[in-house]
């Protein structure tokens, strides 16, 4: 233990984890669980076994509301190969009612979370199932959720797990391709092969290996089968993110997705002589984009499907603790009602609560043009305004407390945006924030 308390401090009655200490500890726990516990969060019993501390002591330390002995924290940190420093704890005399300090990040979290982020919240069963699936020969994992629900953050976790097991990694985001390429199948597939080769540290051999006589799908498949897959004995985890960028190009999407389906079937059901079992696919797309019916049956009814749900009450409470907050159940329920467990909106809300803003003040300014949710709300409105039918349907849902029966295609589009949930065959607004915002449109 370094930077220990002086003799006067040692006479103090215990310490409380600081926000920094809590973040370091949670990040270390998550990293170790990814390596040694199949990416499953440690249970309390497992933490007791790892640290040698009692359940009561661990709960007290993690809740950060009552002091614990300094040696307890030192033991806790050492169990995860961390050195306890003076910045990792607070003396009770330095706090008021042991209120946790502010989080260390300077602004709201925006974008994917890194593997070691203390603000990543595990969804029970999803991470463990996904990370185990990619270790299976010929696997395909399909990951879908509305925008800002944490798809890429989960991908980062899966990549870390795959790396621990020696898989080669290649990540392709279709947001990075020029629009003019996306409209042409041959250019799209040549770009795709070049990006994968670069990710694997292999030279571009498209000119030597691409034969237009046989067509783009054949050439792309052959490039993987005779060059990219045989380049190493290690399995290849290929992640294709932002797959929905293809959806507006029906012909290209149909052929590209059909090719992925064929690769999966060769990997899952092919002979032992082929190399396709070495390929493990993860495809991720936002449910915000509408998928044309003619591509629904490509790779979207095979493999292992993960659909990210909103945060539950327990998960919101866990995230609040990581922000150094200790709200009561009433406040947690109010926040859950306001943003519906939407992961990004929950993170955003808790950041500002940790900056000493009150939940009442945030709720009162929820749909203000300069409120903390304004950018998110404007994006949702822009999507709806592109189609009058969607916009009118959302206003109807927002002004109907008991829900509305909508045409199936319209209701599924709104669900894909995260704006509604289903109550039997009725569409109900997914949170109070959306209810207020879209109901207000009726008044304008």
Long-range contacts of 27-31 (CB under 8 A, 24+ apart): 27/116, 27/117, 27/118, 28/80, 28/81, 28/82, 28/116, 29/80, 30/115, 30/116, 30/117, 30/118, 30/120, 30/122, 31/115, 31/116
Q: What is the percentage of the chain residues whose pLDDT exceeds 90?
A: 56
The whole-model pTM stands at 0.77
pLDDT for res 155: 93
User: What count of Cα atoms within 13 Å lies in the side-chain half-sphere of residue 258?
Assistant: 12
pLDDT for res 272: 62
Distance from chain centroid for Cα 259: 27
**Which one is predicted more confidently, 130 or 107?**
130
Domain ranges of the chain: 7-94, 126-307, 315-443
Closest residue by Cα to residue 19 from 324, 325, 333, 401: 324
Average pLDDT over residues 312-328: 86
Helix, strand or coil for residue 392?
helix
Q: What is the percentage of the chain residues whose pLDDT exceeds 70?
A: 89
Closest residue by Cα to residue 123 from 148, 160, 149: 149
Q: Which CATH class is domain 7-94?
A: mainly alpha
pLDDT for res 293: 58
pLDDT for res 19: 63
- pLDDT bin (cut points 50, 70, 90) of residue 301 is confident
pLDDT in tens, 303-314: 999 999 999 998
pLDDT in tens, 120-158: 888 877 888 888 899 999 999 999 999 999 999 999 888
- Average pLDDT of the chain? 87
Reading the block at residue 397, the tokens are 């849902």
**Which one is predicted more confidently, 346 or 300?**
346
Closest residue by Cα to residue 82 from 22, 153, 165, 37: 22
Residues whose CB falls within 8 Å of the CB of residue 387, separated by 6 or more in sequence, listed in order:
none
CB count in 10 Å sphere of residue 64: 25
pLDDT in tens, 8-54: 444 356 888 876 677 678 778 877 876 787 767 788 888 999 999 99
Phi, psi of 117 (to 5 degrees): -70, 130
pLDDT in tens, 162-209: 887 889 999 999 999 988 888 899 999 999 999 999 999 999 999 999
pLDDT for res 86: 82
pLDDT for res 96: 42
Neighbouring-strand partners of residue 280: 237
Average pLDDT over residues 222-234: 96
pLDDT in tens, 270-300: 766 689 999 999 999 999 887 775 666 688 8
From CA 35, how far away is CA 168, in angstroms rounded? 17
Distance from chain centroid for Cα 229: 28
Answer yes or no: is pLDDT of 243 > 80: yes
pLDDT for res 265: 93
Q: Which CATH class is domain 126-307?
A: alpha beta
**Do 118 and 27 contact (CB within 8 A), yes or no?**
yes
Give me the DSSP letters along 122-166. PPTTHHHHHHHHTTSTT-EEEEEESTTSSHHHHHHHHHHHHHHTT
Phi, psi of 163 (to 5 degrees): -65, -40
Query: Residue 423: left (phi > 0), alpha (psi -120 to 50), or beta?
Result: beta
From CA 433, how far away is CA 337, in angstroms rounded? 8
From CA 340, how far away is CA 310, in angstroms rounded? 7
């Amino acid at each position: 233990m370094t930077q220990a308390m002086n003799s006067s401090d040692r006479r103090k009655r215990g310490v409380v984890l600081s926000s920094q200490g809590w973040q370091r500890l949670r990040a270390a726990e998550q990293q170790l669980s990814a390596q040694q516990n199949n990416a499953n969060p440690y249970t309390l019993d497992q933490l007791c076994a790892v640290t040698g501390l009692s359940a009561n002591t661990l709960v007290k330390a993690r809740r950060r509301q009552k002091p614990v002995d300094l040696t307890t924290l030192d033991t806790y940190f050492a169990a995860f190969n961390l050195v306890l420093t003076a910045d990792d704890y607070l003396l009770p005399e330095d706090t008021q009612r042991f209120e946790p300090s502010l989080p260390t990040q300077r602004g709201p979290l925006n974008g994917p979370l890194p593997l070691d982020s203390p603000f990543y919240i595990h969804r029970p069963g999803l991470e463990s199932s996904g990370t185990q699936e990619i270790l299976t020969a010929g696997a395909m994992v399909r990951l879908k959720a509305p925008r800002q629900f944490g798809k890429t953050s989960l991908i980062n976790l899966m990549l870390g797990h795959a790396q621990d097991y020696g898989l080669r990694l290649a990540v392709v985001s279709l947001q990075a391709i020029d629009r003019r390429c996306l409209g042409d199948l041959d250019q799209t597939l040549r770009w795709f092969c070049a990006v994968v080769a670069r990710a694997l540290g292999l030279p571009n051999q498209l000119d030597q290996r691409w034969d237009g006589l046989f067509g783009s799908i054949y050439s792309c498949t052959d490039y993987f089968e005779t060059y990219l897959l045989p380049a190493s004995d290690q399995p290849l985890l290929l992640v294709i993110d932002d797959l929905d960028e293809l959806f507006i190009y029906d012909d290209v999407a149909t052929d590209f997705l059909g090719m992925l389906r064929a690769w999966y079937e060769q990997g899952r059901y092919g002979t032992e002589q082929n190399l396709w079992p070495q390929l493990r696919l993860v495809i991720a797309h936002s449910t915000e984009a509408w998928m044309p019916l003619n591509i629904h049956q490509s790779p979207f009814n095979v493999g292992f499907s993960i659909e990210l749900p909103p945060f539950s009450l327990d998960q919101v409470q866990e995230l609040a603790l990581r922000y150094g907050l200790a709200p009561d159940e009433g406040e947690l329920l109010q926040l859950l009602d306001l943003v519906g467990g939407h992961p990004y909106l929950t993170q955003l809300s808790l950041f500002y609560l940790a900056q000493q803003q009150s939940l009442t003040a945030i709720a009162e300014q929820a749909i203000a043009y300069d409120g903390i949710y304004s950018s998110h709300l404007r994006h949702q409105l822009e999507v709806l305004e592109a189609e009058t039918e969607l916009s009118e349907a959302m206003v109807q849902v927002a002004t109907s407390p008991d829900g509305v029966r909508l045409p199936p295609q319209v209701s599924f589009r709104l669900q894909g945006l995260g704006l509604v949930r289903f109550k039997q065959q009725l569409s109900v607004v997914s949170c109070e924030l959306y209810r207020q915002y879209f109901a207000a449109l009726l008044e304008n």
